[in-house]
Amino acid sequence: MKAPIRTALLSFGMSGKVFHAPFIEAHPGYELVGAWERSKQQIQQIYPHTKSYATLAELLADSIDLVIVNTPNETHYTYAREALLAGKHVVLEKPITVTTAEALALKDLALQQQKIVCPYQNRRYNSDYLTTKRVIESGVLGQIVEMELRFDRYAPHLSSKAHKETGKPGTGVLYDLGSHLIDQALQLFGQPEALFADIAVTRPGSVIDDYFELLLYYPHHRVRLKSGYFVREPLPGYIVFGMAGSFLKSKADVQENHLIEGLKPNTPEWGIEPVSEQGLLHTVIDGQVIRERVPTEKGNYMGYFDALYEALVHQQPLPVTIEESTAVIQLIEKAFESNQKGCKVWLNATVAP
């Protein structure tokens, strides 16, 4: 068996503690070596065998194979670049960069260094999304006419995480939650022809966008992406209308809550939603109208780390490519352009009227 992939985190806040370290530690193909901790040294309290690095230079000088860049968005490009130049593979949190130009530069550098940059789009492994994807691809709804994807919160007050509220490049709900919704829309339907965006600040005292609605235009259907911070009563996270029927699914993936509660991956109950959260399918199959609940797929973020291991060790396809996540950044930039101009923005000049 090959030696484990020696892996280090560039921060050990919620992202490191919740979304990365538990999976690296639980996977036999990885070794969690440590984390860069600027003030508090906490990683050894949870994982005694690890190191706490005082500086990025110290971390990069160690025998690390894979660096997980899970720092504030505006630092992603700089830290990923330094890791690549140090000869490390990189997992890059979403949004991978603030600009398309930065994403393209990282792609070129990774090719030069013969290293991989794998964006971390973990919500592709959510139970709710996987279930909706399965229903759409099954064809039971017929040709899709309209879809709405939502990622809402009730968070009327400013975040205690100061870096999220500064108004610096890459902050705001469109970069944060929008990165997930845009990625899922692109995975389901590919690149739209055009988009229209409404982006706003709704919380008192906020300097970042905390509301958006994006309308994506496809040749035969429309996709709406929405997020707001004043949604106290949850709405369906996925609403799909096809020519044959409809499907509604709550946003109910349990993995984040399980991780916050300290539950470990690979336990029997991991990623299983309550039966009460099953989606509703109302359509026609073989001439018969049905209206029934649909069993939910099991969510599993470990699938990302499994696929990444296979890519690094056995040269299999990456779970997420830098090209896919660059397309997300391109749409975010176009959304801000649309909001500023107050009009639809075409994504390909050859299809504009």
CATH number at residue 47: 3.40.50.720
Q: Using pLDDT thresholds of 50, 70 and 90, give the confidence band for residue 228.
A: very high
Residue 236 and residue 257 in one domain: yes
Query: Does an H or E element contain 311, and which?
Result: helix 302-314
| Residue at which a domain ends, from 120, 148, 166 | 120
Its domain, for residue 101, covers 5-120
**Residue 160 pLDDT > 80:** no
Same domain, 279 and 253: yes
Helix, strand, coil content of the chain in percent (nearest 5):
35, 25, 40
Task: CATH number of the domain at 170, please.
Answer: 3.30.360.10
User: CA 236: distance to chain centroid?
Assistant: 19
Are residues 24 and 60 part of one domain?
Answer: yes
Cβ neighbours of residue 344 under 8 Å, at least 6 residues apart?
A: 194, 195, 196, 217, 338
**Mean pLDDT of the region 166-182:** 93
User: What share of the chain in percent tops pLDDT 90?
Assistant: 91
User: Number of structural domains, the chain?
Assistant: 2
Least confident window among 158-162, 201-205, 300-304 = 158-162
Of residues 87, 84, 54, the one with CA closest to residue 69: 84
Select from 120, 147, 180 the last residue of a domain. 120
pLDDT at 353: 36
Q: Are residues 100 and 64 in the same domain?
A: yes
Same domain, 78 and 57: yes
DSSP string, 23-75: HHHH-TTEEEEEEE-SS---HHHH-TTSEEESSHHHHHHSS-SEEEE-S-GGG
The tokens for 293 are 């609940």
Is residue 66 within 8 Å of 6, Cβ to Cβ? yes
CA R_g for the chain: 21
Residue 326 lies in a domain: no
Are both 144 and 89 inside the same structural domain? no
Tell whether 208 is covered by a domain: yes
Q: Return the pLDDT at 2.
A: 80
What pTM was estimated for this model as a whole? 0.95
Q: Where among 90, 120, 150 does a domain terminate? A: 120
